[in-house]
Structure 1
Amino acid sequence: MAAITWPKLYLNIYLNDLYPIARLTQKSDVLNMSSSSSKLDKECPYTIEVVQPEDTAAVLTMLKTFFFKDEPLNTYLDLGECKELEEYSVKPLKDNCSYKAVNNKGEIIGVFINGLMKKADPSDPVEKAADSCSHPKFKKILSLMDHIEDQFNIFDLYPEENVILDGKILSVDSNYRGLGIAGKLTERGYEYMRLNNISVYHVLCSSHFSARVMEKLGFHEVYKLNYADYKDGSMFKPALPHVAARILVKDVDKAKSKSTL
């Protein structure tokens, strides 16, 4: 999990700088979107809202608690405190298409950080996200992202698109799982797409569990890189079942201009 300007492909949302995310917290219980929660949690109302600039600190606090420490590549490399990762993770917020779930106490209990991927001009120089990273461990993750970008360009698959919504990080407070928060956050992304004439939602999942969550939400795989096939399998060997980085997408009907929420 993870994101984030990433290699040119992830251009703009970080666009070429955030590290992969879309990578939901990888605990297996996140797969059971209808799993039981405490009575208090079940009765707790929440709202879905746009993440505002003033939310940055609270978003980072949540990611440190529920996302960074569970992301398979971070865990394998024992990434620890990484200011570069933190900066990359919140950089997409400027695109104003990220959403938060807020409980009745005003606390953020879920977040989907999104960014806008824009088709690059063929004449633009190719940027490598890892080149400007000084953190040795995070640089390895960015190098993987650069490699994926070299191998696969989403705009080759969707040549008619100029802008694609890129899901960077999806994370839900473990105390509030089972309330459909991941689905509601994703639905707000669909609403944004319809209002802004965007057809394709893209996510890059480094976690097996996050990829399965996106599949449950109707996304389908368009690219897969087994970690064992990257640099002879010597660079990344996260714990099972995390064996591959996968790109999943969902096509959204732009004609439905009305919100479905």
Structure 2
Amino acid sequence: MASKTPDNVIIRVMRKEDYKNVRALFKEDFLASEPLCQLSGIASQWQNEEKGGNDDNNLSVIAQGTCLVALDEDDGGRLVGFVLAEAQFPEDIEKHRIEAETSRQNGFGRIRVILFKVEREANIFERFGISKVLYSKVTCVDASMRGKGIGSRLAAALMDVGRSKGFPAMLAHCTSFFSARQKQALGMQCIYSLAYADYKDDQGRPIFTPAEPNTMLRVMAIKL
């Protein structure tokens, strides 16, 4: 599967050999700009994380054939965007509960906890009456290429991948206003939302306080 856009950006299925560049863009761009990662200082934590766990997990996701890259043919095939996506099943909810409860009390851990909360409460498997879903985990577009619709093209292409692989639905956790708006424009619906102001610690203080307009985390979904 590969498609070319008028500006010579090719979107195709991610390969294992793409991961070095994907990892670099994830670290340099996504971790520095995604609202919760930005607040939590994830970029520096990522620098200090031991290699292995995250990389092994991402490589296993790539092996599913559900991840995509966007390459700029006018710039020697430079990676300008990607989406990491994977199959999820009802039994994964329990696995995510354990991961959330055993997470270290750092930025990664706090994000894992809130994502588990919204996953559990959105309850897409019962809500849609399905036994598997294509979960769009991370969408990243190089800062120099934003505003060209690459993120939307990646999401639309991912829907096509989901249909071709027999997924009945696609799901995304949108931590920013802009990612939710993009998904909504493609026909995805908000099935659950959590205002950051309402998500508090034991002392009643909001755990995440992103700047406007990023005021809530939305779970977006679409039947394929």
- The TM-score with structure 2 as length reference comes to 0.82
Gaps of 5+ in 2: none
Q: CA deviation at 1:223?
A: 0.2
The aligned runs of 1:1-261 (5 Å cut-off) are 44-81=7-44, 82=46, 83=49, 87=54, 90=58, 92-104=61-73, 105-120=76-91, 127-134=97-104, 136-159=106-129, 161-231=130-200, 232-252=204-224
Gaps of 5+ in 1: 1-41, 253-261
Q: Deviations over 1:210-251 (max 9, x none)?
A: 111111222110000111111244211111211111001112
RMSD: 2.6
- Structure 2 counterpart SS, 1:236: coil
8 Å contact kept, 1:223–1:246:
yes
Q: CA deviation at 1:43?
A: 7.1
8 Å contact kept, 1:102–1:110:
yes
8 Å contact kept, 1:202–1:247:
yes
Q: Deviations over 1:188-211 (max 9, x none)?
A: 212222222212110001111111
Q: How high is the sequence identity, in percent, across the aligned residues?
A: 25
2-structure distance, mates of 1:121, 1:67: 25
Q: CA deviation at 1:71?
A: 1.0
Structure having the higher helix fraction is: 2
Deviating beyond 6 angstroms after TM superposition, the runs of 4 or more aligned structure 1 residues are none
2-structure distance, mates of 1:95, 1:59: 16
8 Å contact kept, 1:114–1:165:
yes
1:17 is aligned to none
8 Å contact kept, 1:76–1:239:
no
8 Å contact kept, 2:96–2:116:
no
- Structure 1 counterpart SS, 2:69: strand
8 Å contact kept, 1:53–1:94:
yes
Q: Deviations over 1:73-99 (max 9, x none)?
A: 112222232237981783532322010
Q: CA deviation at 1:126?
A: 7.2
AA aligned opposite 1:67? F
- The TM-score with structure 1 as length reference comes to 0.72
